[in-house]
Amino acid sequence: MIKRFIIAILALVLIGGGIVGFNLFRSKMIAQFFATMKPAPVAVSVTDTVPQRWTPGIEAIGTASAARGVDLATEASGIVREIRFASNDHVEQGQLLVQIDDRQERADLAAAQAALDLAETTLTRARELRDRGVSANTTLDTAEAEAVSARSTVTKLMAVLETKQLNAPFAGTIGIPQIEVGQYVTPGTVYATLQDIRHMRVDFTLSEQQAGIVKPGMSVTVTPESGEDVLAGTVTGIEPKIDPNSRLVTIRAELPDAGTTLTPGQFLRVRVNLPAEEGIIALPQTVVSSTLYGDSVFVVRSETPEGASEAQLVARQVFVTLGRRAGDKIEIVKGVQAGDKVVDAGQNKLTSGAVVKIAEENGTAVPAAGN
């Protein structure tokens, strides 16, 4: 009985030891397999780092306005008798837009004109009588004074009559009428807005440091929020005074080719183009990875591992110092040199030291140098 018990214990020990030994052997072989297994190269695409012409710029948000735009009003009061425009009409300079009732003024002018005719007739007769020597000089002086007074009255009434009409001060597009026929208007009442939208400009603000770089005559590019059109313009004015509240400087640029693509009051993205620079390293902003440790890119280099006979393409993470931005490009101040191949697609699958293959557009791989 004891002998059987001992045999059973020995059998269990042998079986348990075999299981443990097998598991240890299996773990060792798996670790050895993964240690010697070479991961497949990661397919990436690269962009060559080439020094290029760089046009730096200053970006801002501006507001479009017409080169000429006014709220139309008259200095006379009265009843609106006629409105000769509709919303969004294009009107020419001098075109009659609104007529205020002027019947009383016309009657006064007719009476003044008659008085002027009589005064001039009296003056002519007084001169003839004086030339004949049958009239005193005082009579002629009185006639001349009355003629001058009558002439002044006519001129005054003609000026009053002109205030009863609203004429377009310049050619442009007129807005929605703010008055109605039969309405009584007072001096200063706004009738409508008139904007010359064929000639546009943009006003924007910059910090005092940035404004110190900008000069009249510099070119600007303007893009609406929709991003559909890019318009060119020129800086025409810089406010000589800094706003004491915002510490900003107002700058104006003319947009001669805006046509009718812009609307007064529209928000615009403005870029002031500074003098171009040569030999700048710039890369697409999408190739740069930003973390708490800094900004970096992956650079593909040809390396020969220790003990290997052939070179391989290896991606190395390189920390860079960033500079200015322009569009989708960013300046690389430090970290990347001309001729480096920077990964621009597939970098999210990379770690520093990973073996890569460069995929061309046709899907073929570029071999490592020396192959």
Residue 249's Cβ-side half-sphere holds a number of Cα atoms within 13 Å equal to 17
Average pLDDT over residues 51-77: 88
Residue-wise DSSP of 257-301: T-TTS--TT-EEEEEEEPPPEEEE-EEEGGG-EEETTEEEEEEEE
**Residue 220 — very low, low, confident or very high, per pLDDT cuts 50/70/90?**
very high
Residues 291 and 362 in one domain: yes
Question: Are the CB atoms for 298 and 318 separated by under 8 Å?
Answer: yes
Both 321 and 347 in one domain: the answer is: yes
Q: Which domain-ending residue is among 255, 274, 293?
A: 274
Number of domains in the chain: 3
Let me know if residue 84 belongs to a domain: no
pLDDT of residue 22: 65
Q: CA–CA separation, 190 vs 352, rounded Å?
A: 70
Q: Tell me, what CATH number does 286's domain have?
A: 2.40.420.20
Banded pLDDT at 54 (limits 50, 70, 90): confident
21, pLDDT greater than 70: no
Domain contains 225: yes
In a domain, 12, yes or no: no
How large a percentage of the chain has pLDDT more than 70? 84
Q: How far apart are the C-alpha atoms of 27 and 35, rounded to whole Å?
A: 12
- Evaluate whether residue 302 is within a structural domain: yes
Question: 174, 91 in Cβ contact below 8 A?
Answer: yes
d(CA 272, CA 278): 18
d(CA 242, CA 35): 68
Distance (Å, whole) CA 72 – CA 189:
8
Question: Do both 252 and 110 map to the same domain?
Answer: no
- What pLDDT score does 201 carry? 92
Give the C-alpha distances (Å, rounded to integers) separating 143 from 1, 5, 111, 163: 166, 160, 18, 31
Query: What confidence score (pLDDT) does residue 18 get?
Result: 67
Asked if residue 203 is part of any domain, the answer here is: yes
Quick one: tokens of 214?
A: 């900008």
Give the tens place of pLDDT for each residue, 106-160: 888 888 888 888 878 877 777 777 777 666 667 777 877 888 888 888 888 888 8
- The reply to whether 21 falls in a domain is no
CATH number of the domain enclosing 139: 1.10.287
Domain membership flag for residue 146? yes
Instruction: Please check whether residues 45 and 62 belong to one and the same domain.
Output: no
Residues 107 and 159 in one domain: yes
Asked which of 122-136, 279-293, 309-323, 326-340 is least confident by mean pLDDT, the reply is 122-136
SS3 content of the chain, % helix, strand, coil (to 5): 25, 40, 35
Question: Which pair of structure tokens corresponds to residue 153?
Answer: 């009255």
**Do 287 and 247 share a domain, yes or no?**
no
Q: Are residue 283 and residue 324 in the same domain, yes or no? A: yes
Measure the CA–CA gap between 49 and 301, rounded to whole angstroms.
13
Q: What is the SS3 assignment for 95-159?
A: CEEEEECCHHHHHHHHHHHHHHHHHHHHHHHHHHHHHHCCCCHHHHHHHHHHHHHHHHHHHHHHH
Same domain membership, residue 62 and residue 49: no
Looking at the domain assignment, is residue 206 inside a domain? Answer: yes
Q: 116 with 150: CB under 8 angstroms?
A: yes
Q: What residue numbers bound the domain in which 247 lies?
A: 57-67+195-274
Using alpha carbons, select from 54, 96, 106, 90 the residue that is nearest to residue 74: 96
Three-class SS state of 327: coil
- Same domain? For 362 and 285 the reply is yes
Q: What's the pTM value of the predicted model, to 2 decimals? A: 0.61
CATH of the domain at 250: 2.40.30.170
199 in the same domain as 63: yes
> Is 147 in the same domain as 216?
no
Q: Average model confidence (pLDDT) for the chain?
A: 82
Across the strands, what pairs with 200? 66, 255
Q: How many residues does the chain have?
A: 371
Q: What is the distance of C-alpha 313 from the center of its chain?
A: 43
Nearby residues of 273 by Cβ (< 8 Å), 6 or more positions away: 55, 57, 218, 219, 220, 221
Question: 139-154 pLDDT, tens per residue?
Answer: 777 877 888 888 888 8
pLDDT at 206: 94
Looking at the fold, whether 360 and 294 belong to one and the same domain comes out as yes
Task: Show which of 243, 274, 305 is a domain's final residue.
Answer: 274
Q: What is the pLDDT of residue 364?
A: 42
Considering 211, 242, 274, which residue would you say is the last residue of a domain?
274
**Residue 84 burial (CB count, 10 A):** 13
pLDDT of residue 361: 46
What pLDDT is attached to residue 298? 87
